A and B are shown apart, each in its own frame.
Chain A
Amino acid sequence: MTDQDITFTIDGVAITAKPGQTIMEAADDAGVYIPRLCDHEGLRHQGGCRVCTVKANGRSVAACTQPAAPGQTVENETPHINKLRRDLVEMLFHEGNHLCPICEASGNCELQAMAYRLEMGEPTKFPYLEPSRALDASHHDIALDTNRCISCGRCIRASKDVDGKGVFGYVGRGIHRRVAVNGEDLAHTDADASDHAMSDEVCPVGCIIRKRVGFATPIGEREFDKGLIGYEIEGKRRG
């Protein structure tokens, strides 16, 4: 702790942040998990999905973009906030076409894992949009099933900022805003299997698929078979 460090609380737990850290970064370091979907380690913050919403001194903010401020009182795991998050996650399910039992991301998928963490029940509240978009299997090593895309933009940032390429971009506006490839199809971009954007960790769902991997990892050995999403961060605190 230096004298520039900032102290504040999340759900009553004292947190120390370095100058310039967001609420989420400071929370991560302290072993307090704040749910998130569009934010990802090593990528620029976007503040798009709002699943990381917390109340800072009573005001709703995105924890992934909001700088930590001294003396702030942050609420994270409250029934009210978690309900809001659950509604957001539920809407993501309804906007796409998600059939987890036949999806190879099942068990590794952050959206599904978030639904479990937030105890999303039978989703019924919102209408299903049921998109039926053609699978893009044109690329030799990668396939895209955009029916499962949650428009988090992680692939866009990874491709642009890390790979220096721009394989992905947003098209359309509002509810119609979607992620698309920068070409006729993926084969007509400079996408490569070794791109960071195509790596396991970037796409949180089963949209960017590395071909011929499929179901090789058995049920029980998948990422979120090890614990609820956030378990690694929360593990730091428990020691």
Chain B
Amino acid sequence: MGEPRLIEISPVTRVEGHGKVTIHLDRDNQVDEARLHIVEFRGFERFIRGRLLWEVPVIVQRLCGICPVSHHLAAAKAMDVIWGVDELPPTAEKMRRLMHYGQVMQSHVLHFFHLAAPDLLFGFGAPAEKRNIFEVIKENPELGRRAVMMRKFGQEIIEATAGKKIHGTGAIPGGINRNLPIETRDAFLKTIDDMENWARDALALARGYSLEHAELVNNFASFPSNFMSLVRAGDGALDLYHGNLRALDSQGDVIFDQLDYRDYHEKIVEDVRSWSYMKFPYIRDIGPEAGWYRVGPLARMNTASFIDTPLADAALKDFKSVTNGAPNNAALNNHWARMIEVLHCVEKIKELLHDPDLQGTDLEATGHRREEGIGVIEAPRGNLIHHYQVDEKDQVTYCNLIVSTTHNNDAMNRAVKDVAVKHLSGHEQITEGMLNHVEVAIRAYDPCLSCATHALGQMPLSVELFDADGALIDSRAQAA
């Protein structure tokens, strides 16, 4: 003992793709530094260069295995601008919204039931073999069944709008390539009320957890920060598909509001650090030290003035009352926020299914070609920015993406450090429970580390300890 040590946790289980956490201990076993290393998105911005603009909404779906639809739609929105289209035909806009609500719903349900419920039901310190969805289903078969059915419903909405559950082609520059046949609509209408009821129950579950474990929730990876998301133009309502940017500080005061997202680079600076491939964006007006911010469901609950569907709006008011209207800082409340959004999505889907515009046949618009396009959407994990330039030959010449995980990069690093300081410092033994606390802090942000569902606690976990000279002094591996 006594030597500075490096603790490495790799890969982080139950988040999409691969990540690595390194914790640097000083000579007194205090946490010196904690870093989250993410190696995603390298090369993609270069790969897309030279491709044809109408291919982009399809190609970008390869970026992420669990929210391909968000990339599909953000890219399509950017390409609408390049196509010269500022307003889509109502059928196209509503079909895309339907697709998006289906996507957010299924992604949130997946996260909540498959990735987070095990921790919430069994506790973060529970043994690994307990912390997976199979155990959840075993203890609560009805919950498990609903999770599967809700996810399926969301995926079927995606299939009906994009042609396939994954890697569909629905959104095209300037519109959509299909409408919703009456028979398909009627099939969804048969189960939409179940979905609404189950979404309310899931919300009650998440809310109950947060309130019953207030002590843990309020102290676990909870810290003040700025928040940013799209809100609806004009009235500031929650809008997951389109709107303007709003950023609030930790007091809830406005940093900027109703900012046209095409001007995002005026307000957001993308910082780089030598040890990470991921950028560290911050809000220009506040500066690199304090200008970091969070995006995602929790951020959206904080930024939204209200929700334009009644059940979710009541839930938002209730959520906000817990902090007397001030921003909610607790990362674990992302789960509660997610379930409010699931309810909102279900309400929106219901509204859309009753809208005859979905059977319209005016699917595409064209206009005067532009060279540059920016598309922004609120993905399940938070704000997502796609920015392209296209030359007169229709080839992409420039691409810049800011994905939710990048927006949250600084916040996640802070969350990891926060947990590490509280739970690891001074300990000589690195227990699995403690390591899992670090993972839970990361998972609360639902980072999309590339793709593929390595979920379900199946991923082997390795822990390595290095001394000050970088030599391996100890290692622990936990088989799947």
Interface residues of A (CB under 8 A from B): 101-102, 104, 134-135, 137-138, 143, 209, 211-220
Contact = CB atoms under 8 A, between A and B. Distances in A.
A137 B364 contact: no
B58 A101 contact: yes
A102 B52 contact: no
Interface in B243-297: none
B375 interface: no
Given A215-B58, A216-B177, A137 B172 contact: no
Contacts of A218: 163, 169-170, 177-178
Given A101-B167, A102-B59, A215 B394 contact: no
22 contacts: A101-B58, A101-B167, A102-B55, A102-B58, A102-B59, A102-B61, A102-B62, A134-B50, A135-B52, A137-B394, A211-B52, A212-B54, A213-B54, A214-B54, A215-B57, A215-B169, A215-B177, A218-B178, A219-B162, A219-B163, A219-B164, A220-B163
Given A102-B62, A135-B50, 6 more contacts: A102-B61, A137-B395, A143-B52, A212-B54, A216-B172, A217-B177
A223 to B, nearest CB: 15
Nearest to B164: A219
B50 A215 contact: no
B393 interface: yes
B168 interface: yes
10 closest A-B pairs by CB? A219-B163, A214-B54, A215-B169, A137-B393, A218-B177, A218-B178, A102-B59, A101-B167, A137-B395, A218-B163
B51 interface: yes
Nearest to B159: A219
A185 to B, nearest CB: 10
A214 B55 contact: yes
Contact of A135 (B62, B164, B173, B395): B395
Contacts of A214: 52, 54-55, 172-173
Contacts of A143: 52, 394
Contacts of B364: 216
A214 B55 CA distance: 7
A217 B173 CA distance: 13
Most A CB contacts (10 A, CB to CB) among B163, B173, B178, B364 go to B163
A102 B57 CA distance: 9
A218 B62 CA distance: 19
A212 B369 CA distance: 12
A143 B392 CA distance: 13
A77 B461 CA distance: 51
A209 B394 CA distance: 12
A138 B393 CA distance: 6
Contacts of B54: 104, 212-215
Contacts of A209: 52
A212 B393 CA distance: 11
A142 to B, nearest CB: 11
B61 to A, nearest CB: 8
B373 to A, nearest CB: 15
A33 B168 CA distance: 31
Contacts of B55: 102, 104, 214
A104 B393 CA distance: 17
Contacts of B162: 219
A211 B394 contact: yes
A215 B172 CA distance: 7
Interface string B389-405: 00001110000000000
Nearest to A100: B167
Nearest to B54: A214
Interface in B360-417: 364, 393-395
Contacts of B394: 137, 143, 211-212
Contacts of A135: 50-52, 395
B160 to A, nearest CB: 10
Contacts of B58: 101-102, 104, 215
A198 B59 CA distance: 24
Most A CB contacts (10 A, CB to CB) among B51, B61, B169, B395 go to B169
Interface in B410-466: none
A7 B57 CA distance: 53
Most A CB contacts (10 A, CB to CB) among B50, B57, B393 go to B393
Nearest to A143: B52
Nearest to B79: A214
Contacts of A213: 54
Nearest to A212: B54
A170 B310 CA distance: 66
A101 B172 contact: no
A209 B168 CA distance: 20
B169 A219 contact: yes
A169 to B, nearest CB: 23
A108 to B, nearest CB: 12
